[in-house]
Amino acid sequence: MATARYTRDHEWIRVDGEVATVGITGYAQEQLGDVVYVELPEIGRQVEKGEEAAVVESVKAAAEVYAPVAGEIVAVNGALEGAPGTVNAAAEGNGWFFKMRMAQSADLATLMSEEQYQAFLETIS
């Protein structure tokens, strides 16, 4: 399995070859509560690092999902449209939001490792 990297906005990214899968972390879905709606990006859309790429809505709030790296959206998890609760059940698994072809792998170096992300969570809990 590919190594995950994390953002301060609680997105995760896993790279497999040229394609990266992106979702929100378990911490993020816990903070949101029951997810009721997911707005996914269009396939073919170019996104910049840090740009809003998707939206997730819960019974508590709506939140943006930002692109952890720059690139092109190549796939979306259409299953979330009919079953948005998958984000709660498997945020870092089947609850992924989109896949993208990265513009430059150097963007990954600016993201946190799992250990760094866990340490970051301790500072905000």
The rounded mean pLDDT for the chain is: 95
- Domains parsed from the chain with CATH numbers: 4-124 (2.40.50.100)
pLDDT tens digits for range 2-15: 789 999 999 999 99
| 0.85 surpassed by pTM | yes
pLDDT tens digits for range 37-54: 999 999 999 999 999 999
pLDDT at 107 over 80: yes
Which contacts of 52-61 are long-range, i.e. CB under 8 A and separated by 24 or more positions?
A: 53/22, 53/97, 53/98, 54/97, 54/98, 56/24, 56/32, 56/84, 56/87, 56/97, 58/32, 58/33, 58/34, 59/33, 59/34, 60/32, 60/33, 61/32
Percent of all residues in the chain with a pLDDT value above 70, rounded to a whole number: 98
Q: Looking at residues 76-105, what average pLDDT do you find?
A: 96
